[in-house]
A and B are shown apart, each in its own frame.
Chain A
Amino acid sequence: MSEAFAPGDTVRVSAVNPPGHRRTPFYIRGKQGVIERVCGEFANPEELGYGFDGLPKKRLYRVRFRQKDVWPDYKGDPNDTVDVDIYEHWLSPVAKPKSGRKI
């Protein structure tokens, strides 16, 4: 398995649209967010959907996105977020900016 992420890490969701059963919604693909918590390890739904056992388990993360980073026309408060549970294989690390952005 790849190295684990920790809360506070900046990550980017893969910008791919593969066929098949996926639990990463279209609107969040390619977007950048921050790990809010490590949720645990779970069998991979993308495999379970086709009758496989989904093992080995994948790490699941709650990733927090600022709404204004997701929707260019977002009209709410700049602090508003959308939190999405995303599996590790959809996430890549992003180098932290020197100013160290907080959640």
Chain B
Amino acid sequence: MNDEREHHDHHHGHDHAGHAHPPLQPDDTSPPNNYEVTILAIRDLLLDKGILSAEQVRRGLETLDSWEPSRGAEIVARAWVDPAFKKRLLADGNAAVADFAIDMGSAKLTVVENTETVHNVIVCTLCSCYPRPVLGLPPDWYRSKNYRARVVREPRQVLREFGTHIPDDVTVRVHDSLADLRYLVLPRRSAGTEGWSEERLAALVTRDCMVGVANPEKPRAA
């Protein structure tokens, strides 16, 4: 901790405790939210007490930024082209995504497959559990009270609001992920994509497809 106080850089803002603070948002001159001030103060106290290190926080921010839907899309594309990978993914999600250097931590990644007769959709009605390492932070609507209240009870209506129509001969399964399992939907591969590279396929797979409120786009005519 003492090293930080000796080496703080005067080009960065610093408080009386001497922690070097990389500027968070220098262009944002709006008055701080009470909770913004709270979390900064908590961080400072934890750094002072040696409970966290600046390096830990820096690495944590970096890791969080690496968590985004494109990672999930890559996994889906691989499952579409490689049947052996798909089998492993459905059997043990954590082990399979380790191929992509993705660490799910203590959460158990559980992949549910959309088929001709089944469409899956994910929610956490009690809070907002979400497979963050493969999809990033959950979008506002996923965390919203209206989604959490309605999708378990009227999934087809909710999906329709997202522009997704599920035919009557397809079963809708809602997964309420309340325990240690984190769910990812493996959407159906769009028709007309035979021979496509994984990269091209991944571009069709949006976050909404992997939560189950949308299906992958069909390829446009060239």
Contacts and interface: CB of A to CB of B under 8 A. Distances in A.
B155 A76 contact: yes
B178 to A, nearest CB: 5
A78 B125 CA distance: 22
B173 A85 contact: no
Contacts of B171: 77, 79-81
B20 interface: no
Nearest to A25: B125
B178 A39 contact: no
Interface in B167-222: 168-181
Interface SS of B by simple majority: loop
Interface residues of A, number: 28
Contacts of B153: 27, 70-71, 74
Contacts of B176: 25, 28, 82-85
A83 B180 CA distance: 14
B71 interface: no
A9 B126 CA distance: 26
Contacts of A75: 154, 156
Nearest to B151: A82
Nearest to A80: B172
A75 B170 CA distance: 14
Nearest to B127: A23
A87 interface: yes
Given A23-B126, A39-B108, A77-B168, A85 B174 contact: no
Contact of A82 (B108, B174, B179): B174
Contact of B174 (A62, A79, A83): A83
B152 interface: yes
Contacts of A82: 152, 173-176
Interface in A17-55: 23-25, 27-28, 39-40, 42, 45
Contacts of A70: 153
B212 to A, nearest CB: 12
Given A40-B108, A74-B153, A23 B179 contact: yes
Given A39-B108, A40-B108, A85 B177 contact: yes
Contacts of A86: 179
Given A23-B126, A71-B153, A76-B155, A60 B179 contact: yes
B155 A45 contact: no
B114 to A, nearest CB: 14
Given A77-B170, A85-B180, 8 more contacts: A27-B153, A60-B180, A74-B153, A75-B156, A76-B156, A76-B172, A80-B171, A82-B152
